[in-house]
Amino acid sequence: MLLELTGITKKYGDFFANKKIDFSLEENEIHAIVGENGAGKTTLMRMLYGMETPTEGSISVRGIKHKINNPNEAIKLGIGMVHQHFMLFPSFTIAENIVFHHEPKKGILYNRKKAEEEVAILAKKYGMNIDPSQLISDAPVGVQQRVEILKVLYQGADIIILDEPTAVLTPLEVKDLLISLRNLSKQGKSIILITHKLNEVMQVTDRVTVLRDGQVTGSLKTKETDTGHLSKLMVGRELAKKEKTEVKVGASILSIEHLNIIENSSKKKLLEDINFQVKAGEIVGIAGVSGNGQSELIAAITGLLQVNEGSIHLADIDITNLSVRQIREAGLAHIPEDRYLWGSAKTASVEDNLMMTEYRKKAFQKNGILHTNVIRKFAKETINKFSIKTTSQEESAQNLSGGNLQKLIAAREIQQNTPFLLAAEPTRGVDIGAMEFIHEQLLMKRNNGDGVLLISSELSEILSIADRVLVMFEGKIVGEFTQADVSDEKISLLMAGGKHEQG
């Protein structure tokens, strides 16, 4: 056995993040770990990678017991990890990021040429397409992902841990990644893959281990299981099929006319003549490969980016270029694309993070003095209602698992009961149970007669809950479908820049 974890337990205070976990990995194996948000997947891997020490249990690599005290020791044992969020230097080139800390030298100087050669050879060997001299800040997310993997390979890892690598990727990039993983395992590498997407598990893995509440609830051969069985092991119950009721569409809530955004320096049009409406009682989905103007559209609607031309109306108020606060007061709620950058303050408590959109409201303050008791009660109720897993509401947000932080943000925004909700990647990184819950909440909002704009790179998400779908490509809206005539193929074609054939 290449790798064997026995009886691993990790306690944070009185809380068991991992409890007596057994896990093994064979040579050339791709082994998936699945489980709900906060089940303890990342924690287990952090221990394997030397970032945390187990409270109990042992780790053996190639039959020898090891105590792994830090990532360097893990790397020496041939263990490498690609984290849930990337850790790259944006102003460095791809090659520099990959060789970082293990740079080839010429005398005492960094040997750029050699580094780029070595990186190119490595990339070729594993069939990954990159340009070593490109800057990370210019590289799309899919490429950055490859860089993270190459970095680990460059360090000589045989065991590669990937923590939710597909959550930020477009469907096409996911396909590439899965092919790369297959390649890697053929060339002698062993892979641990954490993911919430069970179809990926079925496609590439050999074995699956399911965690729930820090414990193993099943470890099976992929061939001998199916997604239904896995989700039951994860959630402890069968998932219900969504019922979508008919709702009468009302007046326009969000209305965008001739919106243009032009980049300051390059004069490039980031958004070009955008026109659409979101009406009461409907969920409008925007599909598109990320990076085609969605971020700019979100920023323009929410007041984070200056609009050059055109107008945006929210519930009959002209909100074009108003301040964020004014727009929120006009009736905006906003689940942001990036939960760490925009959506939360990592070092602040769960309670403080929940209060961001509430603290000015009458119920929570009087003359600027906060009602701490009311706030405490409110936070507690929200945590329960959305089953956000946290040891307490004083816990700082950075100790929440990725999916639980996402749930917190979704909870905060959905609960506001505003006439309009902009939900950008609302279920990124959340488990299937939570995804179902968030989708239910979005539908409930729609049924209440509110408008929802759903921006997602997850096509299946848009197809399952949107009433109307717009497709974005290179800053423009290139197609519109009603739920009746929408299909996977039609959208995929437009997303990739193909022409829309009418009829």
Ligand X SMILES: Nc1ncnc2c1ncn2[C@@H]1O[C@H](COP(=O)(O)OP(=O)(O)OP(=O)(O)O)[C@@H](O)[C@H]1O
The binding site for another protein (CB under 8 A) comprises 13, 84-90, 136-137, 141, 144, 164, 167-168, 302-304, 323-325, 327-328, 334, 336-348, 352, 355-357, 359-360, 365, 368-370, 372, 391-392, 394-395, 402, 428-429
> Is 193:33 a contact under the CB 8 Å cutoff?
yes
User: From the list Mg ion, another protein, ligand X, none, which binds 302 (C-beta under 5 to 8 Å, kind-based)?
Assistant: another protein
* CB nearer ligand X, residue 34 or residue 459: 34
Cα atoms in the Cβ-side hemisphere of radius 13 Å centred on 57: 22
> Strand, helix or coil at 52?
coil
**Residue in 294, 273, 298 with CA at minimum distance from that of residue 421:** 298
**Residue in 438, 444, 404 with CA at minimum distance from that of residue 424:** 438
- Integer CA distances (angstroms), 52 to 8, 67, 167, 305, in order: 12, 11, 24, 40
Give me the least distance between CB of 395 and another protein, in Å please.
7
Size of the site for ligand X (CB under 6 A): 20
**Interaction mask 359-398, ligand X, x per CB under 6 A:** ------------------------------xxx-------
**Residue in 30, 75, 21 with CA at minimum distance from that of residue 50:** 75
- Integer CA distances (angstroms), 218 to 5, 60, 86, 232, in order: 15, 21, 29, 10
**Per CB under 6 A, does 54 bind ligand X?**
no
Give me the least distance between CB of 402 and ligand X, in Å please.
4
User: From the list another protein, ligand X, Mg ion, none, which binds 126 (C-beta under 5 to 8 Å, kind-based)?
Assistant: none
The kind and range of the H/E element at 285 are strand 283-287
Nearest residue to Mg ion, by Cβ distance, number only: 42
* CB nearer another protein, residue 86 or residue 126: 86
**Per CB under 5 A, does 415 bind Mg ion?**
no
Using alpha carbons only, give the angle 353, 460, 208 rounded to the nearest 5 degrees. Answer: 80
Alpha helices in 332-487 (DSSP H): 350-355, 372-385, 402-414, 432-447, 459-465
* CB nearer ligand X, residue 142 or residue 403: 403
**Per CB under 6 A, does 209 bind ligand X?**
no
* CB nearer Mg ion, residue 46 or residue 328: 46
Give me the least distance between CB of 406 and ligand X, in Å please.
8
> Is 211:35 a contact under the CB 8 Å cutoff?
yes
Q: How far out from the chain centre does Cα 403 lie?
A: 8
Between CA 200 and CA 79 the distance in angstroms is 23
Q: Is 124 exposed, middle or buried (0-12, 13-18, 19+ CB in 10 A)?
A: exposed
**Per CB under 6 A, does 339 bind ligand X?**
no
**Interaction mask 126-145, ligand X, x per CB under 6 A:** --------------------
* CB nearer ligand X, residue 409 or residue 494: 409
**Per CB under 6 A, does 40 bind ligand X?**
yes
**Per CB under 6 A, does 320 bind ligand X?**
no
**Per CB under 6 A, does 344 bind ligand X?**
no
- Which structure tokens are listed for 76? 């020496």
**Per CB under 6 A, does 402 bind ligand X?**
yes
Residues in contact with ligand X by CB under 6 A are: 12, 17, 35, 37-43, 389-391, 399-404, 431
Residues in contact with Mg ion by CB under 5 A are: 42, 401-402
